[in-house]
Structure 1
Amino acid sequence: MTETAASPFAQYVGKHPGEPNVMEPALLTDPFTGYGELREQGPVVRGRFLDDTPVWFVTRFEEVRQILRDHRFANSPARAKGTAEDSPTARLMEMMGLPEHYQQYLTRSILNLDAPDHTRLRRLVSRAFTARKIMDLRPRVEDIADDLLTRLPEHAENGVVDLLQHFAYPLPITVICELVGIPEEDRAQWRVWGSQLVSLQPDQLSGSFPAMIDHIHELIRERRAALTDDLLSELIRTHDDDGGRLSDIEMVTLVLSLVFAGHETTAHLISNGTAALLTHPDQLSLLKSDPELMPRAVHELMRWCGPVHMTQLRYATEDVDVAGTRIAKGEAVQLILVSANHDPRHYADPARLDLTRHPAARAEDHVGFGHGMHYCLGAALARQEAEVAFGKLLAHYPDVSLAVAPDALRRVPLPGSWRLAELPLRLG
């Protein structure tokens, strides 16, 4: 079941028959079926974004992968249209009541940039996410997981504990905050800000986003006086030594993007994946009997119940033909990851959870982390955290079980996101 919440975007639902809006109830409550039906209508289907902008939904695996690696599609509307003023991003910020001064921290985020600026910023932080760095970080991730799981019974009420609140969130936010350099006393507030940032509620976002930006500026001022070996200190050194490579706004947006993206999606991968395993006892038993299967299992869970169901909008910088549909210059496309990851043209029996589906040599046969130039920078870290989370949870509590019926699990109805409101468990 899902929670319902008022949204300023609900007014657009149903305005254009035959052009589904991403806020349609059928797409929010059961995106696997809803977007699956659109996928079977065609690889490219006309739809509507939050603010009623006409978009092209790209629904099938091959076409989604094609656009993700196609340089003719840009993240910035300005690159396609010549201006960003009349864009969904600009309208969303206006509808959400975001003060004008703070809007640049979204429009100039690494997530909204294209080459060469995107390449430059990605290069500045990619050293923190190399395979060696992630491998070296694993013992610390395991220590954090062990500590959280050991204390998990302290949070139980009537024998039930919320894994989302007391494990799935604290694990990734602790890891990314330590990596970036966010003080421990600030991390609880970051979690609050993160939930408000995705709420699509103007009364929450208009206050929380400016507070978050102001906090990062203050943190930079404090850290500049006492540099350490964290990523924030490295960014400050880069800015101060060669300001041409990193502006003040870019430094703030990098911190914002890394911390926010570094815990929100991973928390819901862990909670979604745990719920999936506990409702598929055959797969859970398989994983318990063969722990070496874990990396492949994480990829399958990312395909089957990953937390991100669509990418942000991309814009055609020239006329492009996609599977026989002409995408005109300046038009927006919405890549639907959930329908691509369940495309029967690419997967045999895609609705079945199969932890052995992906061969070890080709485990990432999905688009849960994206693809191409905007592939998730923190994918390796997210996979590692998920591997540790599932493995440690089953080691600490081998008899863990859901405390409610599967159909009683509450979902938060956010477009493009698949997330639980809580995950009540009995530890055994």
Structure 2
Amino acid sequence: MSERTATDAVREALAATVAAERLRIVASLIRRTGDWELAEDAVQDAMTRALTAWPTRGIPDNPAAWLTTAARNAAVDMLRRAASERRTAGRAAIEAAVDREDQALGSAPDVDALGVVDDDRLRLIFTCCHPALPMEARVALTLRTVAGLEVGEIARAFLVSEATMQKRLVRARARIRGAGIPYRVPSAEALPERGQGVLAVLYLLFTEGYAGGSGLVRVPVAEEAIRLARLLSTLLVDAPPQPEVLALLALMLFQHSRAATRLDEKGDLVLLEDQDRARWDAAMIGEGVAALAASESARRRIDGVAGPYRLQAEIARHHATAPSAESTDFARVAELYARLARVAPSPVVELNRAVAVGLAEGPLAGIALLDELDDARLDGYHLLPAARADLLRRAGRPAEALPHYERALELAPSDPERRFLVRRIAEVRSDSRP
């Protein structure tokens, strides 16, 4: 094997190991030391050591065990160099409790007597998403510590400087220490309520990955949200049924299956009805259908009502599985939005329901619902005038649609959306000429 080939093999093996095991190793070190930065630094140190040792010594038979030991040793070295008694005590805690976890490497998570999964990864996820933390801190911690994104990547995704994002992370860790936020999985009774907070963070990560819905996919953020939802559904498989976890996973899969078709080759926005459905990710849609079915099965086991993610996923399924835009069951979509409005009231849900009604019953029916929608929270929301303009255009009233398209253009948050609206304005101006 040439030197270049050997190096490539090492990098591939290390990348695969880190993807599978980084979260477990970091979570375990945080539990033992209580030091979040030390845990992250120790894993980074172990990765550096692997890049030096594996090309000459060969890739170990069990790369995960090697990386775990190297990270543990790096943490011990860091604690040895520290002068405080607190860190010395942390070192003893590490050295005293590693054998059992080394033996259990790669094994299934334990389940306690109450049926709640006892897993360091779940502890970390629930701690990062604790309701005592501001939402921006939950998001930043989840991306940095759980997903493993670099601070610079997170900063770019949220359009802030690296220094600003680093300060958010420091404040969040200090809040965890200062407020005494427990590093544990909630009890079985509290799991559904606390789980909703985790799901809200994951869905926020996913939607941020789409740059506010403009179609600009921030791949590391959107795909990490899906990966974490998959992990959460796997870790909670032996816990009390959690239908909304599976529903959120299905929702994100359906939406992300269209990622390749949201923009054209020029970077311009392509509406759902105009996207090439042959390019949608069929495997991802199939996984979403299976996750949604599993969600429904879990809901029936607890005799619960359909939650907001379940209803949104069902809406997304109708779009993802329809052979064409024309064959989409918009009457059913409108009905699902009406149910969603009762479960999770929102002016945006009502706006979407009006659009669905307009496509199911005719544009004038949708416009009538928009006329009833008077909510200050939609002031400045570009999709409100855009929706009214589109329904007026479909109703054959381009002159009336024009000012609403122009208002949407003033409010549009991204270049692809602005370019799309400029094209629409040109079209309706042409159509409205005598």
TM-score by length of 1: 0.29
Which structure shows the bigger proportion of residues in helix conformation? Answer: 2
Q: Could you say which structure has the larger radius of gyration?
A: 2
TM-score by length of 2: 0.28
Q: Which structure has the higher relative contact order (CA within 8 Å, separation 6+)?
A: 1
